[in-house]
Amino acid sequence: LQPSGGRATATVGGSTIALTVPAGAFSVPTQAVFTDASSASVAPPSGGTVVATFGIGFYQNGSKVTGSFTPVKVTVTNASISPSTTVYFVVDGTLQAVSGTTVTNGSATFTITSDPAVELVNAQALAVPSATTVTTGKPFILEGGLAGLLVVAGGIFLALALRRRAA
């Protein structure tokens, strides 16, 4: 990446990661290094599912860039990303939700100002109680009995009406 800015892309696991670096973010040519961090992933909260875990590092003349820098846009593309996906930075073995993320089906976009380890997590699907339970019996008995009573009453009134007409 040149001081004039640029773009770097890599595939890590099943995800494509694209960096968009603005002009002036780095004063000298800088190398972006993408790493698979799945072996260091942190258990997601509430039984969620990890979609991707990766690291991004920046190096100048072989030395790691430390401290913070101008925000760099990161876009992660993966078919498993959904609007319920949360982007986290892994900090000291814990997950910290990244604010200002844009997540759509298949894509998550956020900015970084240092070289983080990142974990994308899909929320656990919640079961809807009684969603697949068949409920029969009681409600039908009352409604069916009332319907039968109305049919019988209608039949009696019809028979009486026809009898009066015939007489």
- Measured CA to CA, the distance from residue 62 to residue 56 in angstroms comes to 15
Tell me the pLDDT tens digit for each residue of 55-109: 999 999 999 999 889 999 999 999 999 999 999 999 888 899 999 999 999 999 9
Residue type (1 letter), 107: S
Which residue type sits at 87? V
**How far apart, in whole angstroms, are the C-alpha atoms of residue 50 and residue 167?**
83
**What single DSSP character describes residue 42?**
P
Cβ(74)–Cβ(56) below 8 Å: yes
How distant, in Å, are the alpha carbons of 130, 138, 146 from that of 135?
A: 9, 9, 19
pTM above 0.75, yes or no: no
* C-beta separation of 69 from 114 below 8 A: yes
